[in-house]
Amino acid sequence: MEYIVTKKNQKIDNFLKKTKKELDAFFGFEVREPAVLLLTSRKQLDSLWERKTEKWEVGGTRTLKGTQNGIIFILSPEVYCRQSTHKDPKVFWKTLKHEYCHIYFQQITGSSRPIWFNEGLASYMAGQKKSGGNPMDVFDYFDIGGEGVYQVGYFWVNFLVENFGEKKIKQLANALRTNNALSSKSFSYIFFRIYGFKFNYKSLKAILDKGLKLQSG
Ligand SMILES: [Zn+2]
């Protein structure tokens, strides 16, 4: 195993400070600034995930159970494009913000469920616009992920914000605090309490067909 060397990086420190302010305000509670581990090769990412990672995967998040101590690991800006399918070095910063957002979600839910919401919210907050995919696949992504979860998750978070406002999305995120692992049934219940319509195929389809503001970008 190679050594993972962490160096002081002022640009990253500044970015984390700025992002902390924004995310603390959005979620309405504070989370301690995470440590960032800059990886210099895909091999390091593979050993952290304990599997062969896909070329589009560039990082991840861990939180020490029961604490606020989060770690973000991410391919360093120097190798970010070379070691992944991403072409634009600016994407690094969006990914860093995306991962940072997961730490808040982890603090709220104690998990990453619903995965579509976790990924959608992180992508939305990081300004990672996604298009394509079938929004109605959202029910497949409660406790499994995959490449398609980002499009579907982004679609619904963006859709809900565009049509019902950002306040309700914050409420939904914060209402996911539970003592037990969140089930899809309890998620539906919480969703209904906030939005006033059911989180099921029939009702989401009807909402889409009503021609509410649809996001295409
Ligand atoms: Zn993510």
Could you report the per-residue pLDDT of 12-54, keeping only the tens digit for each? 999 999 999 999 999 999 999 999 999 999 999 999 889 999 9
Confidence (pLDDT) at 217: 40
30 and 95 in a single domain? The answer is yes
89 and 49 in a single domain? The answer is yes
Distance between Cα 207 and ligand 1 center (Å) = 26
Confidence (pLDDT) at 179: 67
164 and 86 in a single domain? The answer is no
Number of domains into which the chain is organized: 2
121 and 217 in a single domain? The answer is yes
Map the chain to HEC letters: CCCCCCCCCHHHHHHHHHHHHHHHHHHCCCCCCCEEEEECCHHHHHHHHCCCCCCCCCEEEEECCCCCCEEEEEECCCCCCCCCCCCCCCHHHHHHHHHHHHHHHHHHHCCCCCHHHHHHHHHHHCCCCCCCCCHHHHHHHCCCCCCCHHHHHHHHHHHHHHHHCHHHHHHHHHCCCCCCCCCHHHHHHHHHHHHCCCCCHHHHHHHHHCCCCCCCC
121 and 187 in a single domain? The answer is yes
Distance between Cα 46 and ligand 1 center (Å) = 16
Distance between Cα 185 and ligand 1 center (Å) = 23
Domain of 93, in residue numbers: 1-108
139 and 89 in a single domain? The answer is no
Distance between Cα 19 and ligand 1 center (Å) = 16
- Looking at 50, 73, 108, the residue that finishes a domain is 108
Confidence (pLDDT) at 211: 66
Distance between Cα 75 and ligand 1 center (Å) = 14
Mean pLDDT per 10-residue run, the chain (217 residues)? Answer: 67 95 96 92 91 91 83 91 87 95 92 94 95 93 92 96 95 87 90 95 91 53
In this structure, which residues have their CB less than 5 angstroms from ion ligand 1? 119, 122
- Looking at 58, 88, 108, the residue that finishes a domain is 108
Distance between Cα 132 and ligand 1 center (Å) = 18
33 and 136 in a single domain? The answer is no
